[in-house]
Structure 1
Amino acid sequence: MMNLRERLLKIYDEKDTESILPSLQEKLMEAGKKSLRKRKQDWDQDDVVLITYADQFQKDGQPALTALEKMYEQYFKDKFGVVHLLPFYPYSSDDGFSVIDYQKVNPIAGDWGDVENLSKKTSIMFDFVCNHISAKSDWFTEYLNGNPDFNHFFTEMDTEIDLSAVTRPRATPVLTKFRLEDGTERYIWTTFSEDQIDLNFSNPLVLLKMIDVLLFYLEKGAEYIRLDAVGFMWKEPGTSCIHLEKTHQIVKLFRDIVEEAAKGTVIITETNVPQKDNISYFGNGSDEAHMVYQFPLPPLVLYSINRGDGSALTEWARNLKVPGDKTTFFNFLASHDGIGLNPIRGIIPEEEILALVKSLKNEGALVNYKKNPDGTESPYEVNVTYMDALNKQLDDDELRVKRFLAAHSILLTLPGVPAVYIQSMLGSRNDYEGVRRTGMNRSINREKYTLEEITVELHEGGSLRNKIFTGLTDIIKVRKEEALFHPSADMEVLDLGSRAFAFKRLNSSDEVLTIIHNLADETLDCRLSGSFQNLLTGEMIEITEKITLDPYQFVWLKTIN
């Protein structure tokens, strides 16, 4: 681990560093005395993540986490060894991402005992909402009331200062006016909304408070820590205020801390940005994030299947690499947020992105926009379930299933750790009633269920939910049993024509797995020869010249030597 003093000096001046160093050293010493759970030291093909809300399922008279635990035991345990619990703390908006108290459990979900019960059955990823806190939090309330202990906890800004260079992920203003208890008015930095107040990490006391939160999560059993919206943590007017060097140094400090206090804990950075900036959070491969979100994947897979053309996906995949075997990608297709568009800017021409957005809107998707430096707005996120994004409203369920499983075959076979969102696992469609109820576009993909209703629907033979759940179950199980799907196994991208997305996974034992996806609604002939085992069917097959794939068919073929 880097010397703590050296790390702090990369963030603060010497005076501020010396002011907090003894306290930080003491915190780590105390953490070392606690018997924290032994963490897994690496990842393998068995690691597949389920992304879900803690209150995703309800049963009368029970905490929602108890209902989730029952669903996990009955439906998910054999598929997912890690559960990403989206923020389960008390909150005031954004379905959990406006945290009122970092160290409490939302009573609807349960209490820390319920979290612990789930953590005995699976590894848990905690959300560390480190960039901002709720306007209803005690911290911000104390600040508004003039409590000197909370001076400079938030970024006050003169409205005359030029902030035109600041990267805006939303169309809302960067500053929000608040009235303090003494009647004075202040403009405070709010990157995402007026209810999400950015923390001022230039104040070293804020860093200390957030390190307390991080150590608390480790004590409560977090084996994965997701750093939400981490790219925005450091502010310097006159710059973009995203991905600044001191933000990277804070992430590195967080890694230093988890490796000292709970070695094996995985740090994951959530940065919904173009690939170059996203992978910068790997650092040198051993000093920053262990995993970064693979943000280009969701829109790229959608774009490719929408067009029946895998050329862009193939070209992008050729350039995928991580800095060493101690880092990997966190792959996903759907999440609690929409499908981000910024990560494919620079990969896909802007006019084609806008055409994709238009076609999705015509089929019922909703769109959120961001403010550009020149005052114009651009779409930054499509709000839709991944099921409805891949399909048209008039498509039949047979076609929906084919496209959906083909997309998830890509997710499960690329290098990295795959994560499946709960709505995808359940085969969910757009929840327009949720949007009407909350007024939020993102609610379209955040439907909650009672245990009774969802179990009935999952068992309904021939239903879309049943077909998707069964189909995903089958391919996830195959992935978990094959060593060539280890996140670090090599990949060699193949060129089998524009309608295909194909690659090989290889290891040092000269084993080879050939994966081919037909992305089009017509049959596809691909050049291939050899003896193979089809992992998806168990069949041994001999191919002499070519293989023919039906529309949206995919094959996982292991070479027999």
Structure 2
Amino acid sequence: MTHAVQTNQIQLITYVDRLSGGKITDLHRLLQGQLAGLFDAVHLLPFYPPIDGEDAGFDPTDHTVVDSRLGSWADIERLAADYPIMADMIVNHMSAQSPQFLDVLQQGESSPYWPLFLTRDKVFGQQPDQAQLDAIYRPRPTPCFTDIRLANGDTKAFWTTFTANQIDIDVTSAQGEAYLQAILQRFTDHGVKYIRLDAAGYAIKKAGSSCFMLPETFEFIEKLSKQAKARGMTCLVEIHGYHKTQIEIAKRCDMVYDFALPPLVLHTIFSGSAYALKTWLDIAPRNCITVLDTHDGIGIVDAADYQGAAGLLTDPELDSLVEKIHHNSGGSSKLATGNAANNVDLYQVNCSFYDALGRNNEHYLLARAIQLFCPGISQIYYGGLLAAENDVALLKKTAVGRDINRPYFDESSLQLALQKPVVKALMKLIQLRRTLQAFDGDFSQTLAPNLYQLNWQHGGHQASLSLQLDSLTATLAWQHQGQAAQQLQLADLLVY
């Protein structure tokens, strides 16, 4: 059901307040000021209340309003007039502090919102089979159910896939469907162009299954994507999982994330081998958004094996990659990963991409160049744009693992970051990339024993990135139709 999406573009992904230091209007001014000419669109991470909740807005109390500390829907509309906006549609859960769930706590099964939320017995009955419970796929070290006491004294086991403050929605109920439609309508009314289906892989639960990416889940995603398309919106599905699952999802929606790319880029730089990366790019969906870092961690599961089927990297290669990240970060990533911190995925490493590469400017710029030459829409995370280091102080303050790569910038720290040589170089690289019409055409790649090359051609326009694998040095070459060919050593963009 996929339809054409203009993929020759670069998007920014950011929290409003953590980059701008203020409101939507402040971010708008920044995009038209010091960040002018860099981005074609903006993914605004959750701007619903509370933006400072347990999961940085991914636990909304009201998914249809803008947190007043950031501004209003009118501000969103004004921003959307200049930059197409992507917004998160959190389909799996809502906050335990939402008015709907608070009503459930008070009235129990008499609440009109009772059908909106998912309890264990709705799926498994009053006497669940332990083997079926053990089969549930878990992305977190925490239990998938939380016993919550109602006002009448009864205790119910509610589904809480991610945290106890994020109560799972029964998306198959009439109330669940109405809830999702209300969000779509609000997005439609205020000019949102792209929607990101957050945690969609967990939305459908069925006894006797893993409750993750079931055939019914594919149907749910396809149905919701069609509804968004009918409203003029493009749908991006966010799922971490086996790489072949991403390929199948891509056939049934507008766009998917290329979450396999970050570990493969790191592996290429750490090992000096591009074989795994080339193998993936030979088969990867083209209707994708590429990332190196996001508000979540660096996905490991996306390159791993699954139930005996080979992954893009072997277990020893993944183990080596994870240990290298921990080493490069001086051990700070270990403080935020696995069971070491609350609210983290078991299969991700929480670390800024800059720290994952040991704050090596040349290697970091190379990683970004590879991303920008891969097929798909390139999405640059605000922390990645500013080469942010691990925010250990914020991690210690919140005890939320992902916060190590969710830094807050104010005017002073933002200006300091923009003066970093690696940030200036990345901005030059983005600006150059946006001038090259070759990216409107066809992608190809070649791999020789010591040379990996990513190529684009569109009519008489050409562009290539050539990587010497032994030295990890790279050359950019391009030619506009009817003009002389040009080339540049990637490292020359760095001026210290």
**Smaller-chain TM-score range?**
0.7 to 0.9
Per-residue CA deviation, residues 17-45 of structure 1 (Å, 9 max, x unaligned), is xxxxxxxxxxxxxxxxxxxxxxx974142
Show the counterpart of 1:312.
276
* 3-state SS, counterpart of residue 435 of structure 1: helix
Look up the match of 1:178: 148
> CA 1:533/1:510 → structure 2, altered by over 3 Å: closer, same or farther?
closer
Distance in 2 separating the partners of 1:492 and 1:52: 31
Q: Give the alignment partner of residue 382 of structure 1, picking from 349, 374, 384.
A: 349
Q: Distance in 1 between matches of 2:465 and 2:6?
A: 22
Q: Work out which of the residue numbers 133, 147, 153 in structure 1 matches 2:94.
A: 133
Task: Identify the range of structure 1 (196-205 vs 219-228) with the bigger mean alpha-carbon deviation.
Answer: 196-205
- Aligned-pair distance for 1:502? 1.7
* Contact kept in structure 2, 1:281 and 1:289, CA below 8 Å: yes
Q: Distance in 2 between matches of 1:149 and 1:379?
A: 36
User: Would the alpha carbon gap of residues 126 and 321 (structure 1) be closer, same or farther in structure 2, given more than 3 Å must change?
Assistant: closer
Partner of 1:518: 468
Q: Which residue of 2 aligns with 1:471?
A: 425
Residue in structure 2 matched with residue 506 of structure 1 by the alignment: 457
Equivalent pair of 1:313/1:501 in contact (CA under 8 Å): no
Structure 2: which amino acid aligns with 1:202? T
Counterpart CA distance in 2 for 1:177 and 1:95 is 24
For 2:69, what is the secondary structure of its paired residue? coil
- Residues 48 and 186 of structure 1, relative CA distance in 2, 3 Å threshold: same
Q: Secondary structure at the match of 1:343?
A: helix
Q: 1:492 to 1:99 in 2, by over 3 A?
A: same
Q: 2:194 aligns with which of 218, 224, 229?
A: 224
Query: What is the CA–CA distance in structure 2 between the aligned matches of 1:533 and 1:491, rounded to whole Å?
Result: 14
Secondary structure of the residue aligned to 2:319 is: helix
Residue number among 188, 208, 213 corresponding to 2:158 in the alignment: 188
Partner secondary structure for residue 75 of structure 1? coil
Does residue 351 (structure 1) correspond to residue 353 (structure 2)? The answer is: no
Q: Deviations over 1:533-559 (max 9, x none)?
A: 578xx97479xxxxxx98x8699xxxx
User: Match of 1:88?
Assistant: 47
Cα deviation, residue 343, structure 1: 0.3
Alignment correspondent of 2:412:
452
User: 1:56·1:64 contact (CA, 8 Å) conserved in 2?
Assistant: no
Hey, what's the Cα distance between the residues in 2 that align with 1:267 and 1:405? 30
Paired AA for residue 106 in structure 1 = D
1:453 Cα deviation from its structure 2 partner = 3.3
Partner of 1:109: 70
The corresponding residue for 1:419 is 379
Please state how far the C-alpha of 1:353 moved relative to its aligned partner: 1.1
Deviation at 1:117, TM superposition (A): 2.4
Give the 3-state SS of the residue equivalent to 2:227 in structure 1. Answer: helix
Over the matched positions of the two proteins, sequence identity in percent amounts to 28
- The aligned amino acid for 1:446 is R
How far the C-alpha of 1:360 sits from its partner, in A, is 2.0
> Structure 2 counterpart of 1:473, which letter?
M
Q: Are the equivalent residues in 1 in contact too, given 2:454–2:464 (CA < 8 A)?
A: yes
Asked if the contact 1:493–1:502 (Cα under 8 Å) also holds between the matched residues in 2, the reply is yes
Q: 3-state DSSP class of the match of 2:34?
A: helix
For residues 254-333 of structure 1, what are the structure 2 equivalents within 5 Å?
254-262=224-232, 265-283=233-251, 288-322=252-286, 328-333=287-292
Deviation at 1:314, TM superposition (A): 1.8
Kindly report the root-mean-square deviation, in angstroms, between the aligned alpha carbons of the 2 structures: 2.7
Rounded to whole Å, the distance in 2 between the matches of 1:492 and 1:53 is: 34
Asked if the contact 2:14/2:44 (under 8 Å) is kept, the reply is: yes
Q: Deviations over 1:211-240 (max 9, x none)?
A: 111111121111000000111110002101
Distance 1:359 1:407 in 2: 16
Query: Alpha-carbon deviation of 1:76?
Result: 2.1
- The whole-number CA distance in structure 2 between the counterparts of 1:378 and 1:150 is 29
Partner of residue 10, structure 2: 48
CA shift in 2, pair 1:75/1:378, >3 Å: closer
The one-letter code of the counterpart of 2:444 is: E
Displacement of 1:512 in angstroms is: 4.4
Contact 2:159 2:167 (8 Å CA) reproduced = yes
CA contact (8 A) 1:153 1:203 kept: yes
User: Would you say the 8 A contact 1:57–1:451 is kept in 2?
Assistant: no
Distance 1:514 1:432 in 2: 38
Distance (whole Å) between structure 2 residues aligned to residue 520 and residue 71 of structure 1 = 39
Residue equivalent to 1:68: 27
In the aligned structure 1, how far is the partner of 2:184 from the partner of 2:202? 18
Separation of aligned partners in 1, 2:363 and 2:473? 14
Task: Give the SS at the match of 2:222.
Answer: helix
Amino acid at match of 2:463: L
Aligned match for 2:111, one of 148, 153, 178: 148
Given the superposition, is the C-alpha separation of residues 519 and 391 from structure 1 closer, same or farther in structure 2, using an over 3 Å criterion? farther
Task: Tell me by how many angstroms 1:456 deviates.
Answer: 4.4
- Counterpart amino acid of residue 51 in structure 1: I
Unaligned runs of 5+ in 2: 122-126, 305-310
1:430 aligns with 2:390: yes
Question: Which residue does the alignment assign to 1:248?
Answer: 218
8 Å Cα contact 1:533/1:540 also seen in 2: yes
Cα distance between partner residues in 1 of 2:179 and 2:392: 39
Partner AA of 1:310 in structure 2: A
* Corresponding residue SS for 1:100: coil
Q: Given the two structures, how large is their TM-score scaled by the length of structure 1?
A: 0.77
Larger radius of gyration between Structure 1 and Structure 2:
1
Change in 2 beyond 3 A, CA 1:500/1:441: farther
